[in-house]
């Protein structure tokens, strides 16, 4: 385990340890989860949303929260007639904490989710979401949800606005194909991803894998006017060996004027 990962895990443990002491302090505030039941699409699916409201001035985290963040965890137990769910995360903000990066949202966020049914009939979304709610310190919060999605429903303004605030696809942004090289390192693997993409001001680069048990370091980035090269360490959380699925590699470019989501790479 390298020093970056040790630092990240130590910080996460410290933040969580203080959670119990701050629960009472936060009891006068309310962190809520609301299911926005949404509408049927023309793709034989249903567009719904999860709205998370945290105390004013606090924040919660994006799907890849950075070394100083806590990843959201969702358990769909209790849901019925759900074949799959696709998240449409709106563009997040980048924060700095103790010299490390975290990525998330202040005050509230609506996350559009496209729900695909397993069969005809009513769909029910029910389960539990665990999130970190953070200001100077983080408090773990567990929220239940349970809602039946209506077969006919009107478009929801909050879901529509969040969908408009998604990152551009690689095609929409004019990005070229992403290539990746992978090599072994002590305790894991190292990936270098390269993609042609014109620069539009200052950027933060995030690398993800499709394996939720693989920790990905904040990348070292080399940038030219037309190309990004980003190198990250990949380490399995239990220290075991693993394979890198290139189709599951994801690079997100977070800039002030735009964000771009580039999915899948080929051997470089």
- Cα 9–chain centre separation: 18
User: Is residue 3 scored above 80 in pLDDT?
Assistant: no
Helix (H, G, I), strand (E, B) or coil at 187: coil
Q: Would you mind telling me the total number of residues written for the chain in this entry? A: 268
Taking only the tens place, the pLDDT of each residue in 88-138 is: 999 999 998 778 899 999 999 999 999 999 998 889 999 999 999 998 778
Residue 172 pLDDT greater than 70, yes or no: yes
Q: What percent of the chain has pLDDT over 70?
A: 89
State pLDDT tens for residues 47-64. Answer: 999 999 999 999 999 999
What pLDDT, on a 0 to 100 scale, did the predictor assign at position 200? Answer: 92
Confidence of residue 181 (pLDDT cuts 50, 70, 90): very high
Residue scoring higher pLDDT (151 or 234): 234
pLDDT tens, position by position, 21-43: 444 444 445 899 999 999 999 99
Between 79 and 15, residue with greater pLDDT: 79
Mean pLDDT, range 225-234, rounded to an integer: 98
| Strand extents, DSSP E, the chain | 32-40, 46-53, 59-61, 73-75, 82-87, 93-97, 100-106, 108-117, 123-134, 138-149, 168-169, 179-185, 188-196, 203-208, 214-216, 220-223, 227-236, 250-255, 259-263, 266-267
Is the pLDDT reported for residue 2 higher than 50?
Answer: no
* pLDDT the model gives residue 29: 53
User: What is residue 153's predicted lDDT score, i.e. its pLDDT?
Assistant: 80
Task: Report residue 260's pLDDT band, with 50, 70 and 90 as the boundaries.
Answer: very high
Spatial neighbors of 3 by CB under 8 A, at least 6 apart, are none
Quote the pTM value.
0.87
Task: Check pLDDT > 60 for residue 255.
Answer: yes
**Res. 254: pLDDT tops 60:** yes
Short-list 216, 214, 181, 177, CA closest to 195? 177
Please give the domain boundaries of the chain with CATH numbers for all domains: 3-164 (2.60.40.1250), 168-267 (2.60.40)
The pLDDT mean for the chain works out to 89
| The two three-digit tokens of residue 187, written as one number | 């305790």
Confidence of residue 86 (pLDDT cuts 50, 70, 90): very high
Can you give the pLDDT at residue 152? 81
């Amino acid at each position: 385990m390298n020093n970056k990962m040790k630092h990240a895990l130590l910080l996460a443990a410290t933040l969580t340890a203080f959670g119990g002491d701050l629960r009472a302090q936060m009891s006068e505030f309310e962190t809520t989860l609301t299911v926005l039941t949404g509408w049927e699409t023309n793709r034989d699916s249903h567009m719904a949303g999860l709205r998370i409201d945290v105390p004013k001035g606090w924040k919660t985290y994006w799907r890849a929260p950075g070394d100083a963040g806590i990843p959201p965890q969702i358990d769909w137990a209790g849901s019925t007639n759900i074949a799959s769910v696709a998240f449409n995360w709106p563009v997040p903000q980048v924060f700095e904490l103790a010299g490390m990066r975290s990525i998330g949202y202040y005050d509230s966020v609506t996350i559009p989710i496209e729900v695909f049914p397993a069969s005809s009939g009513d769909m029910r979304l029910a389960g539990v979401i665990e999130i970190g709610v953070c200001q100077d310190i983080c408090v773990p919060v567990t929220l239940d949800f349970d809602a039946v999605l209506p077969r006919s429903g009107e478009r929801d303004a909050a879901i529509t606005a969040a969908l408009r605030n998604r990152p551009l696809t690689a095609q929409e942004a004019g990005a070229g194909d992403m290539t990746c090289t992978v090599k072994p390192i002590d305790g894991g693997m190292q990936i270098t991803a390269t993609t042609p993409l014109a620069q539009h001001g200052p950027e933060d680069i995030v690398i993800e894998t499709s394996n939720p048990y693989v920790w990905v370091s904040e990348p070292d980035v080399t940038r030219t006017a037309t190309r990004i090269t980003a190198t990250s360490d990949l380490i399995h959380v239990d220290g075991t060996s693993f394979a890198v699925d290139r189709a599951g590699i994801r690079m997100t470019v977070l800039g002030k004027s735009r964000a771009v989501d580039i999915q899948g790479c080929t051997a470089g």
